[in-house]
A and B are shown apart, each in its own frame.
Chain A
Amino acid sequence: MTVDPRQLRPSYTFPPATIAEIHRAADQGLYEIRGSGAKRRLPTFDDLVFLGASVSRYPLEGYREKCATGVTLGTRFAKKPIELKIPITFAGMSFGALGAHAKESLGRAATQLGTTTTTGDGGMTEEERRSSKTLVYQVLPSRYGLNPDDLRRCDAIEVVVGQGAKPGGGGMLLGQKITERVARMRTLPVGIDQRSACRHPDWTGPDDLTIKIQELREITDWQKPIYVKIGATRTPFDVQLAVKAGADVIVLDGMQGGTAATQDVFIEHVGIPTLPAVRLAVEALKELDMHRKVQLIVSGGIRSGADVAKCLALGADAVSIGMAALMAMGCNKPIYVEDYQKLGTEPGYCHHCHTGRCPVGVTTQDPELEKRLVPEQGARWLRNYVTTMILEVQTLARACGKSHVLNLEPEDMVALTVEAAAMAGIPLAGTNWIPGRG
């Protein structure tokens, strides 16, 4: 007897994925842990568009009429600010979450592109330091692998308060990825499920962060810029407090930001999207007269040159990419399809970084799988992808009459939906209306 498909009524409240999750929780008695970022539908930069040249605004010609892309980070206090050739950096991702080949690819590409890559919640690897001309070193609540020698040989220090995927949560790495090398770097037993702190061990709150930042400056003789990284939640307060605590640069990660492993409930239900976060951060900086004096790097679901350009237009000084960089290196590529299937997923749907069985060799510690990512190739892919984004940004900027990409401004854009208009503080196309602002 065949089922009449017209009789199959799906439930909006309990769709198949929700029912499956309830069955899984009943089986396992623990929250779902996975990698990647928020998968639910969220407002993105897609609903902002640029107002290109016309009778009232004139474009720049390609090639001959330069559209510059250089940015300087850390001008507030550091003796040696960071000079970026492009306003795109690679976000902090740990060795442990990623394999050594992936970290090396990122380092090489960053060097070739004239930008930075960032260590993660596991410390600095030699490959990373060797291959990255300019390296940002994270100081996280866990303090895994943190040491003054790496602090002295990095180019900038990033104090991590939180990240977009899990603001308020600490690092997580499951036993299958705690190999000998990872365990040694983190001073952990091999094969355990890493439990990490969500607060720093020796300071809590911006008043004590102020003192901690000063200590880091003292140890490094005030040479290097200090970044403060926050997940986007109470953004206006957080940005102002980071400024008052003495940050040179603020890194703001929206809820679309990825992770290699955390609770699904954290990823999907905590934090605000990157779209409103950028605007809130820029307004907060302007209120303190610190816009462009304390630089703002924005991340969380940045995918294309269009996204980059829109972040810059909203007032960011640069963006950071994490998941997109992994995708450039092969994440979710339709190759080794049987290996995706062994994980219970398919290319295009995979978020299984936490398993350590990454079919394309990026977020794995398994040497056999790692062979699938050759660092030279990974670096080339990254370089091509980021170069594509930069060309896209320049295309958009030139069309808006800009000789420097940082001259993009909010007035170069309009919004296509009421939601995006309200969140980004950009008027709805065809109107002067910004919902929420009267």
Chain B
Amino acid sequence: MITVDLASSEVRALNQCLHDLRPDTNERAFTVTNPLGKHAIAAGLDAPVEVTIQGHVGYYCAGMNKHATVVIEGHCGWGVGENIMSGTVRVKGNASQAAGASGHGGLVVIEGDAGPRCGISMKGVDIVVGGSVGHLSAFLAQAGRLVVCGDAGESLGDSVYEAKLYVRGRVESLGAGCVEQPMTPEDVAAVADLLARAGIKADAKAFRRYGTDRSLYNFHVDHADAY
């Protein structure tokens, strides 16, 4: 176990050390103390290591993550796990805006609430939120799955493509081109599996599914109101 204290060292040194790890490294577990809201902590990881951050982080923590497991024992700022490719990013507290933005794969877990634009532009990542998400979540969401145990703010799934959205609580309003869809047994199984992987207890059958009605897939004058 390697411990790095960001009160007395720089994020640059930490990230360089993590980037320099060889794929066959023995150093697999890192603890980061006193993150003090700093930005880009553990960004660009590309090795199957575990990084646990004790405290609150700033923007883009674990940005573009590959293979690693990053756990934030606190809250995070904007863009946690943005553009994640694989691996897992877990936030024990709340996430700010754009959690999991444009993620391609892997799993992002927010145990508390996620702010507005959770899963914006997502491209295949799975995001599981124990609490609620803010407005414009899953905006332009292309692929992947968003599971929200709490409520969703206004304009959920505005301009959504093929991403699947599951919300257990109240949806304030749906965005352009996003409609409620029937929960199939496959959906229930998928949600149950995601909740299990996220370690969050909830009844998969209590979720409702939302997704694209494909009405905005090709430009047409009859949809001018949506623009």
Contacts and interface: CB of A to CB of B under 8 A. Distances in A.
Contact of A193 (B39, B43, B97, B217): B217
A239 B43 CA distance: 28
A30 B220 CA distance: 7
A436 interface: no
B2 interface: no
Interface string B202-225: 000000000000001111110010
B198 interface: no
Given A29-B224, A201-B121, A192 B102 contact: no
Interface residues of A, number: 36
Nearest to A28: B221
A291 interface: no
Interface residues of B, number: 45
Contact of B60 (A195, A196, A202): A202
* Interface-centre pick from B83, B117, B120 (highest chain A CB count, 10 A): B83
B40 A193 contact: no
Contact of A146 (B15, B40, B102): B102
Contact of B98 (A187, A189, A202, A215): A202
A28 B104 CA distance: 37
B131 interface: no
B88 interface: no
A220 interface: yes
A201 B117 contact: yes
A29 B221 CA distance: 5
Interface string A148-172: 1101100000000000000000000
B82 A218 contact: no
A203 interface: yes
A372 to B, nearest CB: 28
5 contacts: A193-B218, A215-B39, A218-B12, A218-B40, A218-B63
Closest 3 CB pairs of A and B: A29-B221, A219-B44, A202-B79
Interface of A: 28-30, 33, 142-143, 146-149, 151-152, 174-175, 186-189, 192-193, 195-197, 201-203, 208, 211-212, 214-215, 218-222
